């Protein structure tokens, strides 16, 4: 293993930045510390950005299978083929069986923080989570950390735990992460930069040093979902072009590389 890592390190050491088309951008879509505004402001705005990205040939990766539970039919309806819809349904069924096997339930969600933020059921949370995918067709479904391909919106099967989910997206090819939060997650990511999007203005101003975008202005009527979607899309391009996100400036991300471990770990 060390030999392989040494070879990779040597190869990476010779890499240089070079211009690429926008169609090469692959965005991992994440949300954490969601609140009652997530499905009203930040997530739909991110979805609008994904629609723009899909229109120029890029890829948006929606994930967190346990957090689309109850709204998966909305994605299946948009699937580009029956096979894609069936694959998505298969992953949802696996999670139902996996949780039941351990005496749990997928709908044992949202978290206490989500509830304090105004979410009461997994269905409310899932409707907001699906909104990150915009309105574009679902063009592919992939297993955890599987290399994604094609263009437009795709889905990757991952747990709902943000670091594990984002790690799978990065392994699958995501070169930018966009992370929406209403409660104020301090998530960061390496080596992929993470753009943090606040759902409400109160939290944004309390954590402005760690938030890149304030979608609370949608709720106040100052800006529209479409307008904020365009701003997020442009920030994605700027970030891919070298602009540091606030979490990058803080050096966040060293502890957020968390591959998915299935089964007991001794």
Other Cβ atoms less than 10 A from the Cβ of 209: the count is: 8
| % of the chain exceeding 70 in pLDDT | 98
The Cα 115–Cα 193 span in angstroms is: 29
Backbone angles phi, psi at 204, to 5 degrees: -55, -45
Position 179 scores a pLDDT of 98
Stated pTM of the model: 0.93
Sign, Cα dihedral of 209, 213, 217, 222:
positive
Select the more confidently predicted residue: 90 or 105: 90
Measured between alpha carbons, how far is residue 201 from residues 35, 62, 118, 177, 182 in Å? 13, 25, 15, 21, 9
Flag whether pLDDT at 263 surpasses 80.
Answer: no
Mean pLDDT of 163-187: 96
Mean pLDDT of 145-165: 97
Mean pLDDT of 208-218: 98
What does the pLDDT look like over 233-251, one tens digit per residue?
999 999 999 999 999 999 9
What does the pLDDT look like over 108-131, one tens digit per residue?
667 777 878 877 777 788 999 999
Mean of all residue pLDDT scores within the chain = 93
Position 86 scores a pLDDT of 98
Asked whether the beta carbons of 239 and 62 are under 8 A apart, the reply is no
Going by C-alpha positions, the residue among 207, 173, 177, 195 that lies closest to residue 244 is 195
Other Cβ atoms less than 10 A from the Cβ of 238: the count is: 13
Angle, CA 50 vertex, CA 47 and CA 52 arms, to 5°: 115
CB-count burial class (<10 Å; 0-12, 13-18, 19+) for 103: exposed
Domain ranges in the chain? 23-250
Flag whether pLDDT at 266 surpasses 70.
Answer: no
Position 264 scores a pLDDT of 55
């Amino acid at each position: 293993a060390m030999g392989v890592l040494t070879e990779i390190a040597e190869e990476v050491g010779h890499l240089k930045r070079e211009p690429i088309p926008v169609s090469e951008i692959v965005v991992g879509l994440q949300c954490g510390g969601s609140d009652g505004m997530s499905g009203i402001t930040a997530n739909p705005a991110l979805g609008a950005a994904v629609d723009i990205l899909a229109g120029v040939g890029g890829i948006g990766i929606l994930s967190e299978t346990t957090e689309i539970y109850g709204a998966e039919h909305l994605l299946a309806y948009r699937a580009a083929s029956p096979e894609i819809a069936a694959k998505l349904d298969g992953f949802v069924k696996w999670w139902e069986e996996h949780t039941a096997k351990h005496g749990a339930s997928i709908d044992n969600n949202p978290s206490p923080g989500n509830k304090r933020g105004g979410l009461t059921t997994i269905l409310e949370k899932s409707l907001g989570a699906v909104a990150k995918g915009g309105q574009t067709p679902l063009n592919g479904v992939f297993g955890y950390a599987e290399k994604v391909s094609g263009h437009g919106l795709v889905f990757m099967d991952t747990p709902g735990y943000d670091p594990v989910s984002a790690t799978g997206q990065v392994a699958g090819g995501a070169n930018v992460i966009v992370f929406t939060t209403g409660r104020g997650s301090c998530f960061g990511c390496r080596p992929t930069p993470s753009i943090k999007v606040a759902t409400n203005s109160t939290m944004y101003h309390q954590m402005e040093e760690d938030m890149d975008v304030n979608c609370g202005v949608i709720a106040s009527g100052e800006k529209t979902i479409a307008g904020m979607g365009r701003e997020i899309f442009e920030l994605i391009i700027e970030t891919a072009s070298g602009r540091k996100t606030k979490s990058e400036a803080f050096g966040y991300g060293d502890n957020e590389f968390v591959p998915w471990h299935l089964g007991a770990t001794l």
